[in-house]
Amino acid sequence: MKLVKSRLFVNSGKLAPYIFISPFIISFLVFGLYPMGYSITMSFWKWTAGGPQEFRGFDNFVKLLTSDPYFKLSLWNSFVLMIFGSGLQHLFAIPLAIILDDKSIKGRDFFKLTFFLPYITSVVSIVLIFSQLYDENYGWLNYIIVNVLGQDKVRWVTESVPIKTSISIMLNWQFIGWNTLIYLAGLQSIDESLYEAAEIDGATKIQQVFSITLPLLKPVIFFTLTLSIIGGFQIFEQPFVLLGGYEKMGGPGNAGLTSAFYLMATGFSYGRYGKASAIAWLMFIVVIVMNILHKKIVHSDE
């Protein structure tokens, strides 16, 4: 009887949809849901390189929020880098996209490619090049600052403020092109007739930007800023490579210790996997809250 039912199920074509979605479902269960569940489990334990040691309940979370001196600092560092590293990009990307959208500009494709190149370059390569630029004694930047501008050399990677500046410069350089292309795609969906009508009404280019372009680009700005908030809290490779790996803990004053960096160091350098999982889930909550706030601000006038 069961066999007959199974055959009917197969022959009726009801099985086909399940087979078609099974690659995703299986991948999601194995590589998505299971690791998430595993990390929640780990976050309730003292879980070291030797495996689970003792059940701690919410202790890992409580300690991170109360007594751990690095977690709050790392959140602050991530927030600062999110503003000046991830957020600042948009102030460059939007004008660049508007300029590139002007069909009278020659070599638009060349500029698009040039701006996009840093995005597809390996982060490690970028950081290695920037670390030579930033080298305190032999770097080009300090050579110009000292020999051309006559100023004192800057300790780009050994002092607190310059560390954040140097990471922000790198992030801006790397991601401005990516955001420019996203905005460019958004601009191309704006109806040309709106600009023609504005011109007939005597609106200047600047007035057109503020009255037509930016309001209609708002959904794209919301999308890219959301990505920037998420990306801002995932900054890891840049400070990790630039500041000398886990052992340096983000450099003097832990100025480059982002939340993702602290998570990775806690897990993979100090062998505290339970605590690292707790950091990951706290970061998840912070990113969710930031995005809810962002959505409320952007849509406050609707």
Which residues of this protein are in contact with another protein, per CB under 8 A?
A: 29, 33-34, 36-38, 40-41, 44-55, 63, 67-70, 131-132, 135-138, 155, 158-159, 244, 246-249, 251-254, 265, 268-271, 273
Q: How far is the CB of 12 from another protein (least distance, A)?
A: 24
Residue from 269, 274, 293, 290 nearest 62 by CA: 274
Provide the Cα torsion 24, 30, 35, 41; round to 10°. Answer: 120
Nearer to another protein (CB atom), residue 158 or residue 208 = 158
Nearer to another protein (CB atom), residue 55 or residue 210 = 55
Q: How far is the CB of 69 from another protein (least distance, A)?
A: 5
| Helix extents (H) in the chain | 2-11, 15-27, 34-43, 59-66, 69-81, 89-101, 108-120, 123-134, 140-143, 160-187, 192-200, 205-208, 214-232, 237-242, 259-264, 273-298
Q: How far is the CB of 23 from another protein (least distance, A)?
A: 17
Nearer to another protein (CB atom), residue 88 or residue 249 = 249
> Are 226 and 294 in contact, with CB atoms under 8 Å apart?
yes
Nearer to another protein (CB atom), residue 67 or residue 104 = 67
Q: How far is the CB of 170 from another protein (least distance, A)?
A: 17
> Are 239 and 264 in contact, with CB atoms under 8 Å apart?
no
Nearer to another protein (CB atom), residue 177 or residue 250 = 250
Q: How far is the CB of 122 from another protein (least distance, A)?
A: 15
* CB neighbours of residue 167 within 10 Å: 29
Structure token pair of residue 289: 């809250």
